[in-house]
Structure 1
Amino acid sequence: MLKEVGASGQISLGKKYAGQLFEVQTAPDGTITLMPVKVVPAPLTAQEEPARYAAAAGTADGWLTPERLARRAAAAARSPAEMEAARTQWEEENKEAIEAMNQRMANIGSTGRRIHEWSSQHATEIDQYNAWAEQREPYSQRVRRWRAEQQK
């Protein structure tokens, strides 16, 4: 059987081989051999087995490492006063970024506000377009009507 390599450098073996893995062996003379293979995963290490830790901790997502579980437990154990202190500390550390974002919002506004302003400024054109669009028949309906007329 001859197979041609396409412009993207690929060949198609057919649906019979869909999803299978092949080892590509290239000989010095340019011969290419495809060998079907089965991959057996290596045993997972503790770092690669997050589901075991999550199951032990009773979490639902199954992807939490012991470190993340410890951070979540510590956060859940904080008192309201500790939470407020952490929030205040974060706010102080990010004060410049918060002020810059507030200034940006004051200058350009939110996306919703800009859309509302634009649509208010262009209300006449929008109404004209909507009136025009209501009178137009969608292309698919025009084609159906034309085909029905052709069959008569």
Structure 2
Amino acid sequence: MANDKQQDMLIRIDQAITNLRRGKKKLSISKIAEKAGVARKTIYNHSELKQRCDQAIHIQEEQNKALQEVAAGSVTEAKTKPLTGRKLLEERYRKSREDLKLEREKNAKLLENNRQLVLEKAELKNRIQMLQQQMERLKAQKVKPLK
């Protein structure tokens, strides 16, 4: 029974998302909940419903971002010949190579940071062992530690 109810809510949410998209409205959980006739709290309490809403919002954001890039690109394309076929693929390949290079640089920085943290961890571990040994010697000498 609960599964049927959740399935019904999922269908209503999908319909609400579709209707909001047709109206070119920016998606939000509040608007989706209102349009679907469910409480926002219900969406937040059901991970499947929340995931569906988040996915729709993310897709809309990505589409808007792509449209903005196309609009920005159309201004520059008016001045230059538009890219087609092989040129377009070469441009995408070049951009991918640049992105890969940046990611490799980030990765190298993260690896270096990780190496430093490993060294720092080893130093701290040695320091802890040294302090534990000193405590054992003090206990053996029956010297009271400072308070």
Structure number having the greater strand percentage: 1
Q: Taking CA–CA contacts closer than 8 Å with sequence separation of 6 or more, which of the two structures ends up with the larger relative contact order? A: 2
